[in-house]
Amino acid sequence: MRIEIVVFDGFDELDVFGPFEVLSMAGFDVELVAVERPGPVTSMRGVQLRIPGVLGEADGVIVPGGGWLNRAVAGAWAQARHGVLPARLAALAPSARWMASVCTGGLLLAAAGLLAGRRATTNRNAYEELRAYDVTVVDERVVDDGDRITAGALTAGLDLGLWITVRELGAATANRVAATIEYPAPTPERLSRSSG
Phi/psi of residue 191, nearest 5 degrees:
-85, -5
Q: Which amino acid is at 61?
A: V
DSSP H or E stretch at residue 159? helix 156-169
Catalytic (active-site) positions: 103
Report how far residue 73's alpha carbon sits from residue 64's, in angstroms, rounded to the nearest whole number.
Answer: 16
Q: Contact, 3 vs 55, CB < 8 A?
A: no
Q: Contact, 148 vs 63, CB < 8 A?
A: no
Q: Contact, 62 vs 4, CB < 8 A?
A: yes
What one-character DSSP code corresponds to residue 117? T
Report how far residue 172's alpha carbon sits from residue 162's, in angstroms, rounded to the nearest whole number.
Answer: 11
